[in-house]
Every structure is written in structure tokens, then in C-alpha cells.
Amino acid sequence: MTGIQKAACIGGGVIGGAWAARFLLGGIDVSMYDPHPQAERIVGEVLANAERAYAMLTTAPLPPKGKLTFYKTIEEAVHGADWIQESVPERVDLKRGVLTQIDAAADPKALIGSSTSGIMPTELQRDMKHPERMFVAHPYNPVYLLPLAELVGGTKTSPETLELAKARLAPIGMIGVILKKEIEAFVGDRLLEAVWREGLWLIHDDICDTETLDDVIRYSFGIRWAQMGMFETYRIAGGEAGMRHFLAQFGPCLSWPWTKLTDVVDLDDALVDKIAGQSDAQSGARGIRELERIRDENLVGIMQALKGADGGKGWGAGKILGDFEKHLWAKGGAKKDHLDPSAPLRLIDTKVSPAWVDYNGHMTEHRYLQVFGDTSDALLRLIGVDFAYVEAGHSYYTVETHIRHLGEAKLGTKLYATLQLLSTDDKRIRFFTTIHDAETGDALATAEQLMLHVDSKAGKSVAAPADVLARLAPIAQAHAALPVPEGVGRSVGQKR
Amino acid sequence: MTGIQKAACIGGGVIGGAWAARFLLGGIDVSMYDPHPQAERIVGEVLANAERAYAMLTTAPLPPKGKLTFYKTIEEAVHGADWIQESVPERVDLKRGVLTQIDAAADPKALIGSSTSGIMPTELQRDMKHPERMFVAHPYNPVYLLPLAELVGGTKTSPETLELAKARLAPIGMIGVILKKEIEAFVGDRLLEAVWREGLWLIHDDICDTETLDDVIRYSFGIRWAQMGMFETYRIAGGEAGMRHFLAQFGPCLSWPWTKLTDVVDLDDALVDKIAGQSDAQSGARGIRELERIRDENLVGIMQALKGADGGKGWGAGKILGDFEKHLWAKGGAKKDHLDPSAPLRLIDTKVSPAWVDYNGHMTEHRYLQVFGDTSDALLRLIGVDFAYVEAGHSYYTVETHIRHLGEAKLGTKLYATLQLLSTDDKRIRFFTTIHDAETGDALATAEQLMLHVDSKAGKSVAAPADVLARLAPIAQAHAALPVPEGVGRSVGQKR
């Protein structure tokens, strides 16, 4: 990837500061110009947010951070830069003046992007000597995380400029999306402005409050749009008959009073053909069943990610999923009491999900431990160590684990896990778990584990209470009669 | 949670079938009426999709699946049901007729929900004898995954009905969001219709094609809206000054030609006060810095989930993240060559991310193994076993692992991992990894692991090539001079 060598940021608010953070964390030196007296503080805060986010985002090795230098003039700031990003306030005269000044001082080959949310590049490049290298690069907040930059050229912008800009953004984790024509507010902000205006009416007319409106978005189409946009989503809704069928079905809504957006396009044959054709080009390589599968896997992955959000409390649709699971456990946990203790307990039935596999479609190492952990959690619930028990301050902690990998699981492989107690006392449970391929019954992995009963506030091991031990005892007694599984007591690399 | 005891679905297409799937997988028997000759096949397909999705969604114990029965009349189908969901085609006369028939035959206390996307409940309940228990429960596709049902009452609906409906939806993993007033298309579809109409113009006017429009959505505000809606997002954009500041800043856009939505609300003081007050009620308990933190953690989690999507190939913003990481590894991998082999190699620096912690904010067991895995991956890259090497058909697989937990890591804890080689030959690498708290240097967990060099297509171990062994040798030689770490060679539960 052909990256940016040196960047200049003209204007350093939330947007300009976040552009600077993208460049700096990508190892690129940044020259900054912003006359605001608080500019250094504001940029510093955005950069701190960005560094925190990147530390969570990836364990890939970030290059040494670029050097940030503040300058007192635009001329000094743009010196030697091959990418200059303008992010000054949204006034056409101000922006045009700043861009003309940048143009005069910069290397004629340097790319000049504007962060404008809505002004057309033709307006902005009017007075430039080298307008062919000027374009709009419109990012989205938080710029250090969201990958999109809408790339829009004006009448004087060369097509090569947009392609070059796209290529230079990739090494800092951004995706340049090139628009065919300029229009006020481009594509993203036009869609957002439509929702915003509609939303203001809904609040104005007391149909709902802001929280309800936000909930409607994030529990429904918001999750969908995190992974597929509007047209691909509707293509799936059209079913095997595709986009043309969807348009035929939903075309009539355009004449219904479903929004205040009254200047409605004529959905004639030509437009239907155009949309159906573009949709085929976009998604036609995959059938509807495949798109459904990908969509569902994505939605599951997003909801599972949100289930762990806000320090494990869950957020948005992830919190709803967490509540649902608590309800299922509360209702279904008891059923497992009827397990037959005269054999290893079959405690977990599951399936290798898309989030569990690596590039080659194999279940990754740590997901085996996740299944082992789910299995020991199921054992704990069986003996009364449930959510309420843990909340009240005691729990069993795993202190030691020995895993053997004996086979491979792939995306979609059905699995089940069985658990055999090896030895127990009032503080300890040592047990042996096997993950099986549900089709063949083959053992794919085994774990020998040791758990200690702890007072989690005091942070030390204590004897488990009598009722827990009483539930554990009959299982331990029954399992004592079972043969010791092959592999128990091994150390790593030990000869058989 | 007070759940539904028996459900009836009148109309069984994609929407009605998915309602049935929600009920059935929640352990509720369903009576179905749909005169369509293909109804059983269509419902069966939706149910299969739903079961596949649920298997990935949760390991919580689903109750025994409910029983699905098809009936030839509405009267038979609604018999004994306490929730009846109407999902017939979107024609007011048809729907009103069906609902009136349901009303006449159903238990007067049964709740009757309509899946209509836009018709007002007052219109639908007009001819009912017991209209007080009728309402709109508008779900979103795929209904078996997306949790939202917009609950809307007509003039004759009792308020208790909506609260009761909300309570009954929770046990099947859905969230009922109650609107204050009815309006055509309710809230979600009004917002969607605004985007749809604006989007049709953009395609019509050749500003972009459908794929570009979809990319703009899913790389930017789509990801934002999966976790926070429009108003909470803009509250953050307003910064510490809050919603009022945002409205002052962006109010002027309402008069700009940024959408075809021309019937624009008057953003007067009364509306500004209303929005600012509702936003305070919604989000005021958290400061902007906290909202930023939660937003960024959510965005990271979503992008990471999408990075593993489509069988590990990545999807949408997750694919962009994956490409970025590959670029970072390609660029940064070489730097690690300068590591000093006279001590255990410090290969990973990371931080406990929100997706890694449990309800109590502690790093979950299997995430330790993830860090151990990242560390051994870093070792492999160091000796030339990188992405291209694995693609070409050879790799090292972990076959055995012994983990000890010695301390606790919490959300945000900075970690680093060091790796010491214990023994190597032409097929095997046995090594010992320690995860440290970066603040204190304390060991939080250790792993002894054994990797085997394999021909991944043949599925058997083979000797590693000379160049890989040549890179491994100097490290192995240097590490042979280090003391053997405490804990090496242990089996689980072994006395010290």
C-alpha cells in the first residue's frame, strides 16, 4: 500500500484532531495549524481517546507513533506534506480562503482533502492554482474508528486524484468510497439529514421521545446497517425473486403518507431496471440463502459483542440478549438435575459459530477453552453455584488447566461436551472435560481442570457451604466408579 | 417474566413464519393459519434459519421446542391462544376483516397483535367487539433475531394491553417499545421511508450506485446505530455543552438543500427545549466522556465481530479492519527481529478490552488463552511462519497446553506477555509464556505449550524447513542458558 509520508492538518477540532490521530497512530508525522487557543488541549484529548480505542482494536504491531508539531501559519504547516486535510468551520467563504492559501503554499503534487460535511468541491476549489488535486474526504465521527471517507471530486478534480487518495487512505485503516457526481451533503449526510428531519417531526408531534426513537433504531435496522446497507438488505427481503420483486411490492408505499418527504421520485421502468441491475452487480454473486446466512451470522456476532459491552453489563440489543439468556438459564437450569450421574455428564451442546473460526474456517484455540468454561459453568449451576450465588460473594475459580487437541472442528461443526469428576474435597474440584464432534462422537479436545472455592471479596479460598457439597457428593461418588480417562495427570510433552 | 402460554399465527410468510419461530424456540405451542398452498414449506424454511441462528446465538438452555400445528380455519387456529399475531398482506380491508374474525373467535382476554408496517391500529380495530386488546406489534426482519417490536395502540386500545404485551415479549427475547401516539408507518418505518426516498433520488440522479450507497451506510453511521441511536450519537457530537449546543450548531442545516425532504419542522425554542430535556432524561446520567468510552468500546466490539465474519474472511467494516491489521503485520512484523534473545521475548503488549470481561469486570478464562495464542503467533511470525507461509500449506499447531492462573486482570488492565523456549526439535516447539500485569510486572497467568509443525493439507506432522529452523535455533540456544521457569512440567493439581 502506498501510504502518506507526511500529513498536515489545517483545523484541529474533533474532526481535524481525529484525522491527526489516524495519521499519527499510522506512523505518519503531522503538522497542525489551528489558531484556537485551546487547540493543543482539544487535539490531545481526541488523540488520547484514539490511543485507548486502538489498544482495544488490534494487537497488530502499530508503527512508532508519528510526531505532532503545531505551527503558527498555514504556510509552515503544509511545508513538505503530501496529504493536507482541511477541517475548518463549515462556511464556504472561510473554507475557500483557507484552501486557496493551502494551495499556494503546498507542493503542487500534494493531495488536498476537505472534511466538509456538505459543501460541493467545485465551490471550494474555485480560486486554486492546482485544483486538480483537491477533493472532499468526508469522514465520520469518531474519525479514528469509523473507516469511511466519502471521496468527492469537483469539476476541476482529476479522476487520478480520487484513486490516489483512496490508495493512500488504506494503510491507515480507512476506506475511501468514491462518488460518481458531487451533490450538496454527498451521500451519507443526505441520508442522515432525511432521518434527522423526519425524526424532528416525530419528536415535535409527540409520537415518541428521543429515547424511544433511539431504541427503535438500535434494536432493529441499526444492527442491520452495521453490516449490510439498505439495498442489499432489501434484496434479501425480496427473496429469491430479487430486487425487482421487492420494488414491485414496496413501490406503492412511495405514494403513502409514510414520511414528510414529499418530493417523491417516479419509480418508473427505467429506474427499476437501473436499481435491479446495480443490485445484481453488487450482490448477484451470492444467492439469497447465502446472503441470509451471512446476515444472520453478522447479526449474531454484533449482538454477542454488545452482550459483553459496558464492562460486561451489556448494551443495546446485547443487553436484551443477555436478559434473554438469564431468563433461559433460570428456566432451563433446573432441567439438568435429571442428568444420569453414572456416566460423564453431557452438559453442553453447541455449534462452531462464525466468530469462533480463523481465516481457514477452523475453530480457534481459545474458543475450545470457552466451551470448556461453559461446561464447568454448567456443572456449577448444577450444584447451586449460579448467578445469584456469585453475586452474593462466593464462587469457584479455575486455577489450573491442561488441554490436549486431538482433532479439528470447523465452522458449523456440532459439538457436545461431557464432564467427569476426578476428585473433590471441601475446597477443590478436579475434573476432566471432553469436547466431542456430535456427528462422529470423536473426542476433539480434552481438558483436565482444577477449581477452587473462593470468597471473591476477600480473594482467598474457603470451604464451600454444606448444601453445595451435598449436591456435589452424589456425582463425585458415581464418577469414582468410572475408569480414569486416558490423559489424566499428564504434563505437557510427557511421553505416553 | 410472564410469558405467552399458547400462540396463534394468522398468516405465515417471512414475517408470520418468523414470529412462529420465536414462539416455538421459546417453548410455546403455535397454531398456524395460512391458506397459501406453500405455507408449510415457507414456514419450515424460516424455522430452519431461526434454529441455525439460535444455535450460534446462545449456549443457554433452550426449552423443548413448542409444537407447530396448521389449521384450516382462523377459528380453529385461535382456539385457546393467549397471543394471536396477524401477519397477512398489507391491505387495510383484508387486515380489518381478518382481525374482526380473530376477535370474534378468540378468548376475549387474548392479546391480538398486528404485524402491519404502517396501517394505524384505529383503522384496524374499527369493527372489533373487544378492540381494547388489539394493538400493532411491528417487528423487523429477521424477526427471529432482531429484538424490536414497536407497540402501538389505537384509540380503543387500553394502556394495560401495551404494558402486558411488552411483558409477554421479554421471555422470547424481544423488546416491546411503546409509542405514545399512532401515526402511519409508526417510528422505524417512517425513518426508513425517509432514507429510502432520499436513496432512490441518489440512484436516480447517478450520484452513486447501490453498492456505493450501501458501503457509505455500513462503514459509517450504520455501525454507530447498531449501538446508539440518532439523538444519543448527536448528544456526544455536541460535546460537554450537550444537546442544546448540537442543535444550535446544526439547526441551520435544516434550511440547506441537503435532502429532498422539504417540509421542514420549525426548530423553535419550544422544540429545542423539548429535545434537550428528553435527551437529558435519556442520557444525562452519564457524562460525555463516559458516553464516548462506551461508544468506542461498542464500535470496537462490533468491528472485531465482523472481522471474523463470513468464515473468517471478514465482512464490511470488519474486513477493512482485517486488511488494516494484515498491513500492520506486514510492515511491523520485521521490527521484532531486533528482540534480545538473552531473556524471555516480550512479544505482546495489550489491554483487557470490554469484550474480554465477565459481568464482574474480570477477564474471562478463555481470553487468557487468546493472549497466549497471540503470543505464540508472534513467535511464529518471528521465525518466518507468517500469513503467506500458512496459506502455502504448512503451519505449527498447538497440541497441548497447561495453564496456571496466578492473579486477576480487570477491564483496562495493561498486559504484556513474555515467551521462553524450553525445547525444540525439527517438528516440535515447547515453550513457556507468562502474562504480566504491565503496571506491577506481576505474573497473572502462565502457559506451557507444545506446538507441532504440520502439513495442513495432509493433516500430519512433518519436519519444518531449514530456514524456519535456522531462525529458531539462535533463540533456542540463548534460552537454553536461562533458568527453567517455576511451574514447568506440572500436571494439574500436582503438589509443589
Amino acid found at B59: T
Residue B276 has pLDDT above 60, yes or no: yes
Domain A339-480: give its CATH code. Answer: 3.10.129.10
Q: Which of A76, A71, A73, A83 is nearest to A26 (CA)?
A: A83
- Mean of pLDDT over chain A: 90
What are the sequence ranges of the domains in chain A?
A: 6-186, 219-293, 339-480
pLDDT in tens, A434-485: 999 999 999 999 999 999 999 988 889 999 999 999 999 999 999 999 999 9
Residue A361 reports pLDDT greater than 80: no
What pLDDT is stored for residue B338 in this prediction? Answer: 60
Q: Rounded to whole angstroms, how far apart are CA atoms A12 and B392?
A: 46
- The contacts of residue B484 (CB under 8 Å, 6+ apart) are B422
* Residue A51: count of CB within 10 angstroms of its CB: 15
Q: How far is B466 from chain A (nearest CA, A)?
A: 23
pLDDT at B190: 92
Burial category of B34 from C-beta neighbours within 10 Å (exposed 0-12, middle 13-18, buried 19 and up): buried
pLDDT in tens, B170-179: 999 999 999 9
What are the residues facing A357 on neighbouring strands?
Answer: A363
Q: CA B323 → CA B9, B316, B329, distances in Å?
A: 45, 11, 10
Residue of A278, A302, A363 for testing the chain B interface, max B β-carbons within 10 Å: A302
- Reported ipTM: 0.83
Structure confidence at residue B417 (pLDDT): 96
* Nearest residue in A to B205, CA atom: A181
* pLDDT average, residue stretch B135-157: 96
- Among A232, A269, A401, A404, pick the best mutation site for testing chain B contact (most B Cβ within 10 A): A401
What is the per-residue pLDDT for A208?
94
| % of chain A exceeding 90 in pLDDT | 64
Instruction: Using the structure block, give the residue that is written with the C-alpha cell 434550511.
Output: B255
Structure confidence at residue A359 (pLDDT): 66
Chain B residue numbers with beta carbons less than 8 Å from the beta carbon of A171 are: 324, 327
Show the cell assigned to B259.
435532502
CA dist., res. B287 & res. A162, Å (int): 39
Q: Per the structure block, which three cell numbers stand in for B393? A: 500449506
Residue B279: which of A216, A203, A220, A141 has the closest Cα?
A203
pLDDT exceeds 70 at position B463 = yes
* Predicted confidence band of residue A386 (pLDDT cuts 50, 70, 90): confident
Asked if B261's CB is within 8 angstroms of A193's CB, the reply is yes
Name A338's Cβ contacts closer than 8 Å, sequence gap at least 6.
none
Q: Which residue of A has its CA nearest to B415?
A: A55
Residue type, B87: S
Q: Say if strands B83-86 and B6-10 run parallel, antiparallel, or are unpaired.
A: parallel
May I ask the CATH architecture of the domain A6-186?
3-Layer(aba) Sandwich (3.40)
In this complex, is the C-beta atom of B442 within 8 Å of any C-beta atom belonging to chain A? no
How far apart (Å, rounded) are the C-alpha atoms in residues A332 and B63? 6
Residue B17: pLDDT band with limits 50, 70, 90: very high
Judging contacts by C-beta atoms under 8 Å, the chain B residues touching residue A276 are none
Interface test with A, best of B38, B182, B218 (most A CBs within 10 A): B218
In A, residues 168-207, which contact B (CB 8 Å cutoff)?
A: 170-175, 177-181, 183-207
Yes or no: say if A406 and A445 are a contact pair by the CB < 8 Å rule: yes
Specify the pLDDT at position B269. 82
Taking an 8 Å cut-off on Cβ atoms, the answer to whether A264 and B197 are in contact is yes
Is A403 touching B (CB cutoff 8 A)? yes
In this structure, of A38-52, A327-341, A364-378, the range with the lowest mean pLDDT score is A327-341
Of the listed ranges A93-97, B81-85, B169-173, the one predicted with least confidence: B169-173
Residues of A in contact with B299 (CB under 8 A): 53, 142, 145-146
Q: Which long-range contacts (CB under 8 A, 24 or more apart) does A238-242 make?
A: A239/A288, A239/B14, A240/A287, A240/A288, A242/A276, A242/A279, A242/A280, A242/A288
Q: Which of A4-18, A54-68, B252-266 has the lowest mean pLDDT?
A: B252-266
Per-residue model confidence (pLDDT) at position B149: 97
Q: Residue B384 pLDDT > 60, yes or no?
A: yes
Q: For chain A, what is the HEC assignment?
A: CCCCCEEEEECCCHHHHHHHHHHHHCCCEEEEECCCCCHHHHHHHHHHHHHHHHHHHCCCCCCCCCCEEEECCHHHHHCCCCEEEECCCCCHHHHHHHHHHHHHHCCCCCEEEECCCCCCHHHHCCCCCCHHHEEEEEECCCCCCCCEEEEEECCCCCHHHHHHHHHHHHHHCCEEEECCCCCCCCCHHHHHHHHHHHHHHHHHCCCCCHHHHHHHHHCCHHHHHCCCCHHHHHHHHCHHHHHHHHHHHHHHHHHCCCCCCCCCCCCCHHHHHHHHHHHHHHHCCCCHHHHHHHHHHHHHHHHHHHHCCCCCCCCCHHHHHHHHHHHHHHHHHHHHHHCCCCCCEEEEEEECCHHHECCCCEECHHHHHHHHHHHHHHHHHHCCCCHHHHHCCEEEEEEEEEEEECCCCECCCEEEEEEEEEEECCCEEEEEEEEEECCCCCEEEEEEEEEEEEECCCCEECCCCHHHHHHHHHHHHHHHCCCCCCCCCCCCCCCC
Confidence of residue A102 (pLDDT cuts 50, 70, 90): very high
* Residue from B210, B264, B184, B208 nearest A262 by CA: B264
Name the one residue in this structure whose C-alpha cell is 453445595: A468
Q: Which of B92, B119, B144, B217 to mutate to test the interface with A (most CBs of A within 10 A)?
A: B217
Tell me which residue in A222, A404, A456 faces B229 most closely, judged by beta carbons: A222
For residue A256, the chain B residues in CB contact (below 8 A) are 118, 184-185
Residue A258 has pLDDT above 70, yes or no: no
CB contact, 8 Å: A36 with chain B? no
Which candidate from A260, A311, A411 shows the least CB-CB separation from B361? A311
Residue B354 to residue A308, Cβ atoms within 8 A = yes
Annotated binding site of A for NAD(+): 11-16
Are B188 and A221 inside 8 Å of each other by CB? Answer: yes
B175, B259, B319, B456: which to substitute to probe chain A, counting the most A Cβ within 10 Å?
B259
Enumerate the known binding-site residues of B for NAD(+): 11-16
* Percent of chain B residues topping a pLDDT of 70: 94
- Helices A269-283 and B210-218: angle between axes, nearest 10 degrees: 60
CB contact under 8 A, B142 and A292: yes
Contacts of B364 in chain A (CB under 8 A): 370, 373
A 10 A CB-CB count for A477 gives 12
CB contact under 8 Å between B305 and A310, yes or no, is no
Mean pLDDT, range A78-92, rounded to an integer? 96
Please list every residue in chain B whose beta carbon sits closer than 8 Å to the beta carbon of residue A175. 215, 219, 320
Phi-psi map region of A402: left, alpha, beta (phi>0 left; psi -120 to 50 alpha): beta
pLDDT higher than threshold 80 for residue B241: no
Please give the mean pLDDT across all residues of chain B: 90
Cβ <8 Å between A53 and B256: no
**What is the number of CB-based contacts under 8 A between chain A and chain B?**
642
- CB contact, 8 Å: A219 with chain B? yes
Closest CA to A345 of A433, A423, A259: A433
User: Annotated binding site: which residue ranges of B?
Assistant: 11-16
Do residue A171 and residue B327 have CB atoms under 8 angstroms apart? yes
pLDDT of A398 higher than 90: yes
CB distance A405 to B399 below 8 Å? yes
